Amino acid sequence: MLADGHPDFLPPYAAGTLGVVKSGIRVVYDPKGLFRNLAIAARPDRPERHVLRSTCGRYERRIWFVPGLSDGRHELPVFLDGEFYLHDMDCLPVIRECMMAGGVLSMSCVFVSFQDSASRHKDYTCNADYSRFIAEDVVAWARKHDERITSPDHLICGVSLSGLAAAY
């Protein structure tokens, strides 16, 4: 955090701007992702934000981590297009409600940023190197970050083009 209380990965915003974002915004056009990332950081239940580099050095992506709610064994879903799931679809409240109601197993979730449009297209069109980054580096990072993730099977989720990558 910066001295003014803003997350250190965001540029400083006026208190009024931050207040409006906390009250709820819907991003229409934000090519650099500034307001989408600000909206994610302003969530009262905001996930932990990290930057992950691949072991091969080819990839560096923002990831958001949400630890599971209970003790014991956790499943790991990995969400590609993390910004869409966290902001546009606002899936965290639904996931948490399902876990609390017992509708799904306890999960610790990782949301992977698409970075930008060019990277999104390159990464999600059946790219073996990117798939290896997700399957090896992201999963290994999550397991190291939360020792409750003990299941050998993981779910990779995507929407539209990232759905193609998840299926691949």
The stretch 15-44 carries a mean pLDDT of 75
| Beta-strand pair 109-112/74-79 | parallel
Read off the pLDDT of residues 82-138 as tens digits, 9 standing for 90 and up.
999 998 898 999 988 888 888 777 899 999 999 888 999 999 999 999 999 999 999
HEC string of 38-74 equals HHHHCCCCCCEEEEEECCCCCCEEEEEEECCCCCCCE
Residue 2 confidence class, pLDDT cut points 50, 70, 90: very low
Q: What is the pLDDT of residues 156-168, one digit of tens each?
A: 999 999 999 999 9
Q: The pTM is what?
A: 0.82
Give the largest CA-CA distance in the chain: 46
